[in-house]
Structure 1
Amino acid sequence: MSAPAQPFPHRRQFLLGLGLLSQTGAGPRLRIVTVLGDSITAGLGLPARDAMPAQLQAALARRGVSVVVRAAGVSGDTSGGGLARVGFSVANDTAVCVVALGGNDLLQGVDPALTKANLRGVLRKLKARGIGAVLVGVAAPSTIGAAYAREFNAIYPSLAREFGVPLYANILLGVNGDPALLQRDGIHPNAAGAKRIAEALAPVVARALKA
């Protein structure tokens, strides 16, 4: 009498093949860049595809750096608001967080010492979680008061040195004052302005990802 036939003689090999197929089909997991900021990074007045985070992802891709850029900008947010929400706005799978806060502090005349303390708190929280950072500043014009502008503008390079993180000193560099790159309010970048910011910021973020 012959032995009964096995219902699935190559079951182990079949399951192994499925496992390998699923792994190869999934591909490598892309790293995450989160942009923590205010209305400029939130893309106020723009569709999401034209806002700075999406433009940054495209600019990095053109440099051969494949990432997913998450937008975590809130219109009107100050450095204090960013500090309050960094724990839940920046997910744990973030490789690098672009910290772009301070513009609303400047508009509201917040004490630069307080702005610096808040940004230091943000950077400390990111460091404690093992998340890299890029610090993005905003330039204070001397017309608001030379002493205030000097103290405010010193915040960003000082913190960049303290934490050893890359610095992009002025988010609106090359955009501010150019009607072709701004919306009608004369403050927020249009799609072309957001692209200009993203192109300038991309190499700084790329270096942070390598680090």
Structure 2
Amino acid sequence: MRLLSALLAGCLTAVASLASADILIVGDSISAAYGIDKAEGWAELLAERVNEECPGMAVHNASVSGETTGGGVARLPALLERYSPVILVIELGGNDGLRGMAPAHMQNNLAAMVQQGRAAGAEPVLLGMKIPPNYGERYTELFERAFRQVADDEKVPLLPFFLDGVGGDASLMQEDGIHPLAAAQPRLLDNAWQVLAEPVHRLCAAAL
């Protein structure tokens, strides 16, 4: 009887631990499923995959269209307090680039978000972005370098280009040439999974 009680207590502890092992996505319109049904967005597809591979691990998508890294820094503390995630997915920077904001400022904001996430007990992951070449070679170089620098300095996983295989393909992009169609969302999920699979599986195993 004591053994059964101990086993039951262990199971309940594991379930409780897993129930709090959530993923928080803080992104812009790409992750907010702009222009398509939200149920078809990559974040929802991620929730489905995570539910299959690690039942009980929830995905909270706090992405907002038009969001910049500055907005992310401002919103993140409240989001971390609300969801207490174990994984923090940062998908921001695209709007900083489109608005011509200083890459150094973006870099500082991304680093601050990584540090905020870590301080709250989450493992940060960066989904990087690239911008059109018409912004000039120097700006483009500094923009892309900002993501790499944060990843190197803060020792966090980085996907260099979240829209890899999607951006520039007219058959996968909406008419504005910026936002992916529903058909592109599975590719976005596969891209993100390159840096999410390891922490998801590791933290899931630890909870069980």
TM-score range, shorter chain: 0.7 to 0.9
Which residue of structure 1 aligns with residue 123 of structure 2?
A: 132
TM-score normalized with structure 1 length? 0.82
**Higher Cα radius of gyration:** 1
Q: Out of 57, 60, 64, which is 1:74 matched to?
A: 64
Instruction: Tell me what 1:105 maps to.
Output: 96
Q: Distance in 1 between matches of 2:54 and 2:171?
A: 29
- Is residue 46 of structure 1 aligned with residue 27 of structure 2? no
Give the Cα–Cα distance (whole angstroms) in 2 for the partners of residues 55 and 92 of structure 1: 19
Higher helix share: 2
Identity %: 33
Structure 1, unmatched stretches of 5+, are 1-12
Q: Alpha carbon RMSD of aligned pairs, Å?
A: 2.4
Q: Distance in 2 between matches of 1:153 and 1:132?
A: 22
1:52-109 CA distance string (max 9 Å, x none): 21112234456x3443211110110100000000011233520101000000001000
The alpha-carbon deviation at position 141 of structure 1 amounts to: 3.3
Contact 2:23–2:87, Cα closer than 8 Å, also in 1: yes
Residues 38 and 77 in structure 1, CA contact (< 8 A), matched pair in contact too: yes
Q: How many residues align?
A: 192
Q: C-alpha distance in 2, partners of 1:194/1:138? A: 16
Contact 1:56/1:195, CA 8 A, preserved across alignment: no
Alignment of 1:57-206 (within 5 A): 57-61=47-51, 64-66=53-55, 67-90=57-80, 91-206=82-197
TM-score (norm 2): 0.83
Structure 2 residue matching 1:74: 3-state secondary structure: coil
Query: How far has the Cα of 1:205 moved from its partner?
Result: 0.7
Q: Secondary structure at the match of 1:39?
A: coil
